Amino acid sequence: AEAEPKAALRTVAVVTPPRKTFARAIRISGLTEADKRAVLAVRVAGVIDKLPVKQGDHVKTGDLVLMLAAEEKLSNVDNARQLLAQRKAELDAA
């Protein structure tokens, strides 16, 4: 039986790496998006007069997110008062 050729031995160095402390935070840049959306509804129809928040603004309970124009509402109140006075007059006349 033939002897197998032996591979040449290599000399290697063993190094102990220095101990380092790494930051536990990573800074990255990017965009975020809310995971929830809210649907707003108002009890009455009208024209939006003020919209103090913009898309993406943080809001919490009680924050004003929109205000309806008052002119139309004041006109409706006046009309309702006139109609009430008319109905009272009709009732008194009956």
Q: What is the pLDDT of residues 8-55, one digit of tens each?
A: 888 999 999 999 988 788 888 988 887 888 888 888 888 889 999 998
Convert the chain into a string of H (helix), E (strand) and C (coil): CCCCCCCCCCCCCCCCCCCCCCCCCCCCCCCCCCCCCCCCCCCCCCCEEECCCCCCCCCCCCCCCCEECHHHHHHHHHHHHHHHHHHHHHHHHC
The pLDDT value recorded for residue 75 is: 84
Q: What is the pLDDT of residue 1?
A: 58
pLDDT confidence of residue 69? 86
Q: Give the pLDDT confidence score for residue 34 in this predicted structure.
A: 77
Q: Are strands 67-68 and 48-50 parallel, antiparallel or unpaired?
A: antiparallel
Q: What is the tens place of the pLDDT at every residue in 59-73?
A: 888 999 998 888 877
Please tell me the pTM assigned to this model. Answer: 0.39
